[in-house]
Amino acid sequence: MTRYIAKAAQGHGNAANMMNHLHEMFDAETRSAKVKLINAFKDLKKNLGELVKDYILKVISCLNEAELHVAEIDAKTQISLIVHSLNLSFS
């Protein structure tokens, strides 16, 4: 067990109790990760001259990262995020 996990597990007793309290143990990290993802989406803009394929791969990477951190973003919202992040040449 790494020191990080051992520190987070202190005071939670046995493994079953730790499993029931995982959200409490790692909540701060999850919240921090969500804030970073939100900021990444805010900063995500397609640059002039950038290939659409490369840009969409960056967007997909951000969406995958969001799903890893239990963010549920429905399909309509995902499309809206992508459309609003494109530059004006797509309007």
pTM of the predicted protein model: 0.54
Question: Computed from CA positions of residues 74, 51, 61, 37, in that sequence, does the dihedral angle turn out positive or negative?
Answer: negative
| Nearby residues of 8 by Cβ (< 8 Å), 6 or more positions away | 25, 26
Question: 1-5, 13-17, 47-51, 73-77: lowest mean pLDDT where?
Answer: 1-5
**Residue 84's pLDDT band (cuts 50, 70, 90):** confident
First to last CA, the chain: 53
- Model confidence at 88: pLDDT above 70: yes
Give per-residue pLDDT as tens, 2-31: 554 555 555 555 555 555 555 555 555 666
